[in-house]
Structure 1
Amino acid sequence: MAVLSRNRAEAGPGARRRATLGRTLRSLSWLIIVYVMLTAGAALFAAPFAWMVVASLQDQSTMFRWPPSWIPINPDLENFANFLKNANISRWFFNSAYVALSVTFLQLFFNSLAAYTYAKRSFPGRDFLFALGLGTMMIPGWVMLIPQYIILKNMPGFGGNDLMGHGGHGWLDSYWGLIAPGITSTFGIFLLRQYMKNIPNDLLDAASMDGATHWTKYRRIMIPLSLPALAAHGIFTFQFVWEDFFWPLIIISDPDLFTVPLGLTLFVVKNRNVWDQLMAGSVLVTLPVLIVFIVFQRQFIKGIALTGMK
């Protein structure tokens, strides 16, 4: 018995080391598998963008070769020069930037106010109103297009309309028509509210004891502490508005008000089969969204990671 006990004692540390090594190898194997899958997924999603960049740097005769070339053959910037010469890109960029930045800042302001109210204020029916707002997310956006169009067309006192909303075009063919429907969003309120709920109430109570008003608490406490969520929400909003095609297509007929997606469509209609120039234009219009994400990516990732955590 003594010998058996001594053998077990001597074998114990070795067995534990082997078990620990086995668990480490299994964890490492799963980690490698996960990284391989993520890398493959990233490559799959990045491939169209990479091909677009390569195609923009070569002539049309070589861009459709099979198998596709991932390294430009005799790269040059002629496609970009031709696109800038044939397209009113500066006007399209101005329109898209003006609308996207306006909608983004308006949404950040109004949605953060609503989120602060739902997260930190107590009033009768608060949870019911919040649930009712979330319920509107189940309504397809296409259902709202015709009512929004009619409301904007009959806007009293604008675009030649009388006080009854008749006689003119209202906010159609105007910047307000592009901006007004997007000044708030249920998703943005939900995202910011979930983040603001995690901010300790003790900070607000201490501010109240110092005589701070709700506006002061919102401006001095909630906004600075919610910057990651605001950055995430801002990137989502800017990207959506910048890339939106269908709503501008419905309400805009003046070429001087065309946004980037409408402008590219007009370019394709007027200049058929110039795919090399179209790829160059697509690269140019993608850059603003890419720059915004690169600048705010740390805040964006932090906001997404912390939203909803208890």
Structure 2
Amino acid sequence: MSFAQHNAQYDMPTSAAAVSRAVQPGHLYVVATPIGNLQDFPPRAQQVLGEVDAICAEDTRNSAGLLAHFGIQRPLLALHEHNETAICAQLIARLRAGESLALISDAGTPLISDPGFALVRAAREAQLPVIAIPGPCAAIAALSIAGLPSDRFVFEGFLPAKPNARRERLQQLAAETRTLIVYESSHRIGDCVDDIVSVLGTERLVCLARELSKLYEQSHRASAAELKAWLAQDANRSRGEFVLVIAGAADAGVDTQQAEGERVLRLLLADGLSASTAARLAAQISGARKKAMYELALRLQPET
């Protein structure tokens, strides 16, 4: 593939003139910002934020620090859950007058459990161009490392803060067959996992990801009951910002059988049984697929 073909495939500009300006008048740019690591701030996002007439930010104090770090000096407008609806008309008027605006949240991709929906909807209804400047998103980052089905999933944002409402929502989701993704805060993570255990069951697989892209990033996949115990072992594991990726109902039984099969298989191999015998017995005991157990036994055998 030639360089020109490569550029065409990825819509890459080929001249200095083409990259001289990233924004257009009357456009709203929805810009993702880092969720932790500042190196995850793409050059295109930085260029757009440096060229728009103004930046709508969830918390102007928080965003001012980020922008200053990258030498971006543009007017900041507060846009949050308490004023978003009220100022939409004003912002649409500015777009119609030919100004370019960017929308950012405190971290990650705007509108994903963050403000911005009212503005984007208003811009669409006004038939104004809305441009995505993609980048980090905690929900997708966690899903990509969870080891749970990612072809179909449901994003629930934050579950209700009050215990009864949270358990009620989990009960409504109990039969959902798609992978579930939820956000949680440090002061509720323990209670949330307790409720997952009581409502979704002790064996439901969950991947907990905390502090994604930050210094103390950590992820752990286990059954709900095991995850509860894991959190209790170290208070530091309950600190930070969390994403929980939860196996869907249809997959929970299969994953549980596989996990139990692996546990039994390791015990049988440790007792000196052959790979074929251990795989057959593990499959019979756990309900896991015999072929999968045998393939795993062949991989584990050198460790025994």
Q: TM-score range by the shorter chain?
A: under 0.3
TM-score, with normalisation over the residues of structure 2? 0.20
More strand by share: 2
Bigger radius of gyration: 1
TM-score, with normalisation over the residues of structure 1? 0.20
Higher relative contact order (CA 8 A, sep 6+): 1
